[in-house]
Amino acid sequence: MDDVVIKKLSSDEEVPYELLLLADPSMDIINDYVYRGDCYVAYINNNIVAAYIIVKTRPLTLELVNIAVSEAYQGKGIGKRLIFSAIDMARGEGARVLEVGTGNSSIHQLALYQKCGFRIVGIDRDFFKKHYKEIIIENGIECIDMIRLSMYL
């Protein structure tokens, strides 16, 4: 595959909402993440193919709050590369813990995060019921709880 170049989005660049909406159906929540965090974008031949957002949640703790690869490029290892790049960036910034959360129904994402070294640390019960208006169904499972994962850097 052609080279993937990952860069931090600068404040004068357009936020790749279409991509970020793949990971989170709520525009309000995405806007909150964009406001509070840093968005990183992956390019192949100058086209945006993936993005992630990192937010500082507590001292020495960062959270990967949104990661998305455009549909045509999924399943080619870009998600994994983005996560490893986020881990390197978080280490470089001196953070000690990197966290991520995903839905109880997000089976592939749960596999991906664990393959990248995250471990399950808890369950935020009813998170999606409380914060999302629409019912989310994935893999035939209702998305209700957020599985919390983290890694020490």
Which of 51, 153 has the CB closer to ligand COA? 51
From candidates 108, 129, 130, 131, binder to ligand COA by CB under 6 A: 108
Q: Which residue has the tokens 């996560």?
A: 83
115 binds ligand COA (CB under 6 A): yes
Residue 48, judged by CB atoms within 10 A of its CB (0-12, 13-18, 19+), counts as: middle
| Encoded tokens for 135 | 């019912």
Residue type, 58: R
Among residues 11 and 77, whose Cβ is nearest to ligand COA?
77
21 contributes a contact to ligand COA by CB under 6 A:
no
Check residue 79 for interaction with ligand COA (CB under 6 A).
yes
Q: Which is nearer to ligand COA, 94 or 103 (CB)?
A: 103
Query: Phi/psi of residue 96, each to 5°?
Result: -110, -25
* Least CB distance to ligand COA at residue 136 (A): 11
Q: Is 143 in the site for ligand COA (CB under 6 A)?
A: no
Pairwise CA distance, residues 153 & 104, whole Å? 25
DSSP H stretches of helix in 57-117: 78-92, 107-115
- Residues lying near ligand COA in the complex (CB under 6 A): 22-23, 67-69, 74-80, 102, 106, 108-109, 111-112, 115
